[in-house]
Amino acid sequence: MAKDFKYPVPKQPFIHGRFVDAKGPERVSLYSAIDDSLVCDDFQFSNAEDVDLAVESAEQALKVWQKYSAPKKSGCLLKFADLLLEHAEQLGYLDTIVSGKAMSFGAGFEIQFASDLFRYYAGFTDKIEGDSHPTDDGFLKITRHEPLGVCAAINAFNGPIITFAMKSAPALAAGNVMITKASELNPISSLALGDIALKAGFPPGALNILVGGPDCGVALSTHMRIRKISFTGSIEVGKKIQSAAALSNLKRVTLELGGKSPVLVFADADIPTAVQNSAVFLTLNGQGCAFGTRIYVHESVAERYIEGLKEVLVAYTANLGSDPYDKTTWSCPLFNRRQKETVKRFLEQGKTEAELLVGGEFIGDKGNYVQPTLFFKPKTGAHILKHEIFGPIATIDTFKTEAEALEKANNSDYGLAAEVFTKDLSRAIRVSSALEAGTIVVNTCQFMLPTMPFGGHKMSGIGRENGKYALQEYMQTKSVIIKFEGEEATSLS
């Protein structure tokens, strides 16, 4: 039997400004990652029929939203940003009851970052400018940047509110409307955003929120009246979405497909800084796409760095299992049973591919708690070195030269982010240019800022989120050419 919770648990899709029963018959159970307890046993999954209804609703809302003036659009985005902060505890709580995420992160950093994104894009509604060109050839020539229309997003389970903001805020600022499919593994907090959108002044249908399995995702990817889809998740699913988009109506696609980010610690690095910042892979118990989990450290400082990192891991392990609603808790479990099984397989394989330095075991009989784990000098081609694990597992290897470090760092199909630790500014610039990744951070772990584009090279994805570049993902360019008539017009030349 499900528990009683502090806030209501939404279980239905949010379409055209209200919660409605899903058309599909599928009902699923959601369990807590904290202790395996039942959260609800009648959660409603959406299907293709629900997607059709959401598209019809969005098309109606688009006509209204595009009539809003730029200041009015901006006001809605700003109000939404304020309401996110006002509802931070509720949203963080609804995330935590399923994922076990520490409230200090879910109701803190995540909500603040999402609010900052909406506030940032609110400033662009009156700054989407076109161009005019010389009229010496007898033509008035104008370039316009216009919204695509109905867009869709398929969001990740690890950061439901952040991924919602990263996709919806620029889409709305550019004049579009959005249908979001929240992750079926962690959907509750996303659904709660529906009522907040209404309070912010968005017209019903401008933000529709669905939850479903692969069938719902396929329906969004193949829908002939959806003009754009943005996805955060695995390479395997990203390929399917891109293919479906191409085979349907050639809808635009943005893909953020994870990473296996390298960390380069050079001999001149400040070791305490390197330890503190590279340990960010422990955040969310390793369930973050940009986290550095392939660590390469210069052989002259390797011992000192490893000992420092092990101390952080021991402290994190001691905090595992703490009350996630306590503001002092900074650890969390793996967010769902599926991820627990995935990490378990990688741990078993890793023990045959590298030397285990610390960790490597699950904790307790209930929940999805796993010790943070370091493997040393993995074999060439090791699975733990090549594949994204999405858990608190990192590999460490040493290098002698800068060239060797770069060769090892770039030997990956992924290219989302990379970390560099050095006091040499010339090296920092040189190495950041040579690294094959979309975001390079030097002497910090701050991978994302609202103002900076975020996205991958190689198989880590297509397109960019955040910053002004994200607006381009949700606009199309139109050329308008008007011929001047009469002698008066031609005299302009």
* pLDDT tens readout for residues 123-152: 999 999 999 999 999 999 999 999 999 999
Pick the CATH number of 14-257 from 2.30.110.10, 3.40.605.10, 3.90.1150.10, 3.40.50.300: 3.40.605.10
How far apart, in whole angstroms, are the C-alpha atoms of residue 234 and residue 238? 6
Indicate which residues carry an active-site annotation.
256
pLDDT of residue 181 exceeding 50: yes
The superfamily in CATH containing domain 261-442 is Aldehyde Dehydrogenase; Chain A, domain 2 (3.40.309.10)
The CATH 3.40.605.10 domain(s) of the chain lie at: 14-257
Q: Which residue pairs from 313-319 have beta carbons closer than 8 angstroms and sit at least 24 positions apart in sequence?
A: 313/279, 313/282, 313/358, 313/359, 313/371, 313/372, 313/374, 314/358, 316/279, 316/282, 316/372, 316/392, 317/359, 317/363, 317/371, 317/372
Q: Rounded to the nearest 10 degrees, how much is the dihedral formed by the CA atoms of 441, 446, 448, 454?
A: 10
Q: What is the pLDDT of residues 383-406, one digit of tens each?
A: 999 999 999 999 999 999 999 999
pLDDT of residue 365 exceeding 90: no
pLDDT at 282: 87
Average pLDDT of the chain is 95
pLDDT at 1: 57
Q: Supply the pTM of this predicted model.
A: 0.95
The owner of tokens 């031609």 is: 490
Q: What is the pLDDT of residues 430-454, one digit of tens each?
A: 999 999 999 999 999 999 999 999 9
Per-residue pLDDT band for 485 (boundaries 50, 70, 90) equals confident
The CATH 3.40.309.10 domain(s) of the chain lie at: 261-442
Per-residue pLDDT band for 336 (boundaries 50, 70, 90) equals confident
Q: What is the pLDDT of residues 349-363, one digit of tens each?
A: 999 999 999 999 999
pLDDT at 221: 98
Q: What is the pLDDT of residues 339-352, one digit of tens each?
A: 999 999 999 999 99
Higher per-residue pLDDT: 489 or 364: 364
